[in-house]
Chain A
C-alpha cells in the first residue's frame, strides 16, 4: 500500500509547538506527509442532473484550500468527489480525474477504502460513534481500516493534542464520546480522522453547527495542521475562509446551471482584488 512515493514537496514548515512529524508509527496506514490533490475537469451528476461541471483545481500539499460559494453550488459535492464518498449516493456519476499525488483515485483497481483512508473527512454535523468511548472513537480508524499501531496510548494523546482537545478530555477518556459538547464532539471527530495519519483532510462546513468559541478552537487546529496535512475546507463563513486558508476557490451555480469554479487563487487576492466581478460581489457580501 505504501508504494506511492512520488514527487512530494518535502518543505514541512516547523509548527508552532516544536512537534516533529508524528512519532507514533502506524503499520498499513497512509504514507507519511501531506499529499497534493488535483481535480481535472471534474463533473458530477445525481441521476441525470449535472450538478458540477468542469472543475479544475489544485490543492497544494500542506496548504489550506477554502471552497466558498452560495448554497447549492456544488462545493460539498466536489468535496465528496475528492475521497470517493460521492459514489455512495445511489444514481450518482462523475467525469474527469481526481489526482492524489499524480495518481487518479478513480483508476480501476484502486480500492475506495485505501483512498478514503489517505483522504480523511470531517462532516458538517459532529458524528462521534455513540457506542464508543472517547479513546475508542479516536482509535476507531485503526480498527475500521485495519491499521496496526505499536503505541495506542501515545496515538490517542497525539491525535487529541493535534485536534486541540487533549487537555479537556484527558481525565475522561473512558467516557462515551456522545457526552461531549457539540464543539468538543467535532474536535473529537477531527482527532479521529487525524489518528490514521491521513495525507489530506476534507472538512465540510465543520463549524456551521458550533458557537464562536468552538469555531475559534477548530480554526486554531486547522492552523496547526498546516504543513502536516493538506486541508480542504468548505465554508459559508467568509471571514473564516479568509482567516484559515492559503488558497480559495469560488464556486457559483447560475440558475438551473451546474456549479462551476468562477475563480481561484491566493486567498489574499480573492478577498481583495478578484478578477471576476461576481467574486467581488460575493466576498463583499453583496449577494449570496
Chain B
C-alpha cells in the first residue's frame, strides 16, 4: 500500500498543499506516528515475560527437578525471558520489531552486568571504610596504637601528608619533562620523534614496581653505607619513582592536546614574526591550557594510587614524618597495604578507611579533570589516557 492511498482521518484536508489560511482551516488532528515509541502494552509485555519466565523456571527447578544454585537459576530465567519476550513481541508486532527489542535488551543487560562489579567494589570499600573512618583519621597518626585498640583509634594523617608531598614532588619533576617531551614530539621536526614516541609508549607499559626497583637499585642501594639520609628511604626517592610512572601519562596527554591546536594558529603566529619557541609559549600553550590542566590532573590521579614504586623507596612509617628528604615516610596506598596485611581486625578496618580516603581523592581528581577539561579538547585527551588509568585503578584495588 503506498503512502498516497493511505486513508486519512479527514479526507477533505490535504495538509501541506498550498498556504495554510488561518481561520479557514481548523488545525486537523493528525495522528502522530512515533515509530520508536514504547507503549504501555510494551511494558506489560516486558514485565509479563519476566514473570512467566520466573514461573516456568521455578516450576522446572523447584517442583520437577531437585533445585539449582542461584547463578544457574538467574541465567536460565534470563534466557527463558528473552525467548518468551521475543516470541510475544514477534506475535504482536512482527519479526523486525522483535529482533530490535531483543537485541536492545541484550545490550542493556550487558551494560548492567558490567556496572555490577564496579558498584559492588566501591560499595564494599565505602561500607568497610566508614566503619573505621572518624574525623580523627585526618589529624592523628599511629603513635601509641597497640593491636588491642579499636579501629577508630589513631589515624592516617601521616599517610595523607606523605601522599601529598610525594605526589607534589613527583609532579614537580615530571611536569616540565613531560611537557618538554610533548613539545618535542609535536612541535619539532626532528627525525627522532618516532623513536621517542615508541619509547614513551613502552614506558607507559612499564610495571610500576620496576620504577621503584630502579630507584632503589640506582640511588639507594649503592649509598647504603654512606649514612646520607638523602640517599636512604625517604619521600624524595618515592617521588622520583612516581615521576617515572607519571611521565608517560603526562607526555601522551599533553601531546594529544597540543596536536588539537590548529596549524592555522601556528602559521598566524609565525607570520607575525614570532620565533617557533615564542609561538609554542604564547600561542600553542594558552590555546591548549584546559587540556594541559586535564593532563596534569590525570597524571596525579595515576600516581596517587601507586603502591609498588613506594615499597622500597618511601618504605612506610607509622608516625608523622613531614620531611620528605629524611627518613621513611608513609603514604595512603602504603598505609592500606601495610594495615590490611596485619593480623588484627582493627588494623584491617583502618586499612579500609585509608582505601576509602584514597578512592575519594582519586574520584575527586577525576571530577576536577572532567570539570576543567569539559571543552572540545576533552574527549580526545581522555580517550588517549583513560584505558591506561582505568587499568591501573582496577589493578591497584587489589593488593600489590
Which A residues form the contact surface with B (CB < 8 A)? 83, 85, 88, 90, 113-114, 116-118, 120-121, 123, 125, 127, 129-132, 140-141, 143-146, 189, 192-193, 196
Contacts and interface: CB of A to CB of B under 8 A. Distances in A.
Nearest to B286: A131
B284 to A, nearest CB: 10
B265 interface: yes
Given A90-B189, A131-B287, A143-B282, A113 B268 contact: no
A128 to B, nearest CB: 8
A83 B275 CA distance: 14
A229 to B, nearest CB: 15
Given A125-B264, A140-B282, A144-B279, A116 B289 contact: no
Contacts of B282: 140, 143-144
Contacts of B289: 131
A189 B268 contact: yes
13 contacts: A88-B267, A116-B272, A116-B273, A123-B264, A127-B267, A129-B269, A130-B265, A131-B286, A140-B269, A144-B269, A144-B283, A193-B271, A196-B272
A131 B257 CA distance: 14
B271 A85 contact: yes
A130 B267 CA distance: 14
A127 B262 contact: yes
Contact of A129 (B270, B271, B275, B286): B286
A47 to B, nearest CB: 15
Select the residue from A144, A145, A189, A196 with max chain B CB neighbours within 10 A. A144
B189 to A, nearest CB: 6
A71 B223 CA distance: 69
A60 B282 CA distance: 34
B341 interface: no
B274 interface: yes
A192 B217 CA distance: 56
A127 B265 contact: yes
B278 interface: yes
A189 B268 CA distance: 9
A113 to B, nearest CB: 5
Interface residues of B, number: 20
Interface of B: 189, 262, 264-265, 267-275, 278-279, 282-283, 286-287, 289
A129 B269 CA distance: 9
Contacts of B283: 129, 131, 140, 144
B262 A120 contact: no
Given A129-B265, A129-B268, A131-B289, 7 more contacts: A85-B270, A85-B271, A120-B272, A121-B271, A130-B265, A144-B282, A145-B274
A70 B269 CA distance: 28
B264 A127 contact: yes
Nearest to B279: A144
Contact of A117 (B189, B262, B273, B287): B273
A120 B287 contact: no
A88 B270 contact: yes
Contacts of B262: 127
A270 B271 CA distance: 30
A132 B286 contact: yes
Contact of A83 (B271, B278, B287): B271
Contacts of A118: 273
Select the residue from B189, B265, B273, B279 with max chain A CB neighbours within 10 A. B273
B72 to A, nearest CB: 59
A123 B274 contact: no
Nearest to B283: A129
Contacts of A90: 189
A125 B262 CA distance: 11
A116 B271 contact: yes
Nearest to A90: B189
Contacts of A114: 273
Nearest to B264: A127
A123 B268 contact: yes
Contacts of A120: 271-272
A196 B282 CA distance: 16
